[in-house]
Amino acid sequence: MFRNQLNDKIGNLLNYLSSRIPNLSLTKVLKLLYLIDETSYQRSGTPITWLEYKAWEMGPVAEELYNELKFDQSLVHNGQILNFENYIQTNKKATEDGNTQITILPKGNYNLSSFSEFESELINNIIDRFGSYTANQLIKLLHKENTLWHQCVKDNNLDLNFKLYGKKSNHTIDFSQLIKNDAIMQMAAQSAFESMQMQDVFNEF
């Protein structure tokens, strides 16, 4: 969502995460991005990346980003190609079990000038707290009872979906559940969303 506005910001965030965290796997970076956005939304009513996270068997996944980094896909918006090739590179290595291990590496220097002080502090706090976690530890963390992922899986009977149809689903994690009892935060969230929508309209001209 709003990728045309945020491509550079997300690209710099990926560069920064891979600069701070060695051997950053695709799975791990997807979980850290989720934690960054979930925490930001809970505290301010606004995510940092505005990525949409699906409830997959291995936890919340920004499907758009997963497809780009795993399959080297680019998005096209109004004829403009959007990707992260100026910010990161992926190192892909075949494993003995036939899978592909993907590591995210920084490309060039990151630029955090588009991040507010609140955002920069939050990102660094997430790195300090969870940067040393393994991908599996992050998955277990986000699978805990009462997390948004757990609630989405429970409400939509996705355990059966995963068993019958595979590891993916089209159900989106709903961040608004984090602030459902906070009217002021709901107003902030609505205002932020409308501001992004308006900027999208301006960018069309």
Q: Per-residue pLDDT averaged across 67-83, rounded?
A: 83
3-state secondary structure of 54: strand
Is 95 a residue whose pLDDT tops 90?
no
Angle between helices 26-44 and 117-130 (to 10 degrees): 130
The residue among 64 and 202 whose pLDDT is bigger is 64
Whats the size of the chain, residue-wise?
A: 205
Residue 97 confidence (pLDDT): 79
Structural domain range at position 175: 3-203
How large a percentage of the chain has pLDDT more than 70? Answer: 99
Residue 202 above 80 pLDDT? no
> What are the structure tokens assigned to 112, written together?
């955090």
Cα-to-chain-centroid distance, residue 68: 12
161-181 pLDDT tens trace:
898 889 999 999 999 999 999
State yes or no: pLDDT of 35 exceeds 70: yes
3-state secondary structure of 55: strand
- Please say if the pLDDT value at position 104 is more than 70: yes
Q: Are 100 and 92 in contact (CB under 8 A)?
A: yes
Q: Give pLDDT, residue 153.
A: 96
* pLDDT above 80 (res 204): no
- For the chain, how many structural domains are there in total? 1
pLDDT at 10: 96
pLDDT at 76: 77
The pair of structure tokens assigned to 43 is 């505290």
Positive or negative CA dihedral for 42, 53, 57, 170?
positive
- Beta carbons of 83 and 71 less than 8 angstroms apart: no
